[in-house]
Amino acid sequence: MRRKLVVGNWKMHRTREANARLIEGILKGRPFAGDVVVCAPFPFLGDLAAMLKGQDVALGAQDCSAHEQGAHTGEVSASMLAAFGCRYVIVGHSERRADHHESDKIVADKAKAALAEGVTPIVCVGETLAQREAGQTEAVVTRQLSTVTHTLAQHISKIVIAHEPVWAIGTGKTATPEQAQAVHALLRARLAAVTPHASELRLLYGGSVKADNARSLFSQPDIDGGLIGGASLKASEFVAICKAGA
């Protein structure tokens, strides 16, 4: 039985002052039935690690370097994240793939670097609207996933995968539960071909998840929770989504 997982991706939002109120609101909303993670911008990690110490809401980051250490100005290594108490890191978000031209290989190497430090990578895959309309969804997510499965080999069972259709991110257009389930079932079938642990891996859906659509998405057989953008910035909304994972 897979535990549900709800991850808030704060992206480049929030202020240092507002974080305390948001975290307070989230903690007040407990108990949650599944696991809950907040992924914050790098400069906030120290404050948040202190606020979440001993709490059952885990801390995550939104990216890490594919390199272990070295002359890579502006990059943050997985070991630095681990030192600040991060248990998760998002890699390969479509915004990073687009803004920073991250290739499938770089994303896979980042996942590998995270795992080496005991940080669980949440690897994002997803198709654009043009790709979906051209009937390429399966091919695109299969290509994105296969680079990761190839790079991580037997360690693939230690990651979390998030399917985020690019056309659903921040647009208010959510994939229907059936559309999302179809892609998740495909991802799980692809995973089953390379690991005996495919049924244990958690597959998250992301893209305009809100309190009022979370339950119908999370009740699909291969959707194990969500990666939440905008709705993770409001405590009551995020708490409702975390409870929808029950």
Instruction: Looking at residues 86 to 105 of the shown chain, list those that interact with ligand 13P (rule: CB under 6 A).
Output: 93
**CA gap 131, 112 in Å, rounded:** 27
Q: Residue 34 or residue 60: which is nearer to ligand 13P going by CB?
A: 60
Question: Measured from the CB of residue 54, what is the shortest distance to ligand 13P in angstroms?
Answer: 27
The one segment of 113-121, 143-151, 213-221, 222-230 that binds ligand 13P by CB under 6 A: 222-230
Helix %, strand %, coil % for the chain, to 5? 50, 15, 35
CA angle 217, 219, 221 (to 5 degrees): 105
Asked if 65 contacts 34 with a C-beta cutoff of 8 angstroms, the reply is no
Question: Measured from the CB of residue 210, what is the shortest distance to ligand 13P in angstroms?
Answer: 8
Q: Residue 63 or residue 164: which is nearer to ligand 13P going by CB?
A: 164
221: Cβ–Cβ under 8 A, 6 or more apart, which residues?
Answer: 181, 185
Asked if 245 contacts 4 with a C-beta cutoff of 8 angstroms, the reply is yes
Residue selected from 98, 139, 170, 219 as contacting ligand 13P according to rule CB under 6 A: 170
**Interaction of residue 9 with ligand 13P, rule CB under 6 A:** yes
Strand pairing class (57-61; 35-39): parallel
Residue selected from 117, 158, 230, 240 as contacting ligand 13P according to rule CB under 6 A: 230
**Residues with active-site annotation:** 93, 164
Binding positions for ligand 13P, rule: CB under 6 A: 9, 93, 164, 169-170, 206-209, 227-231
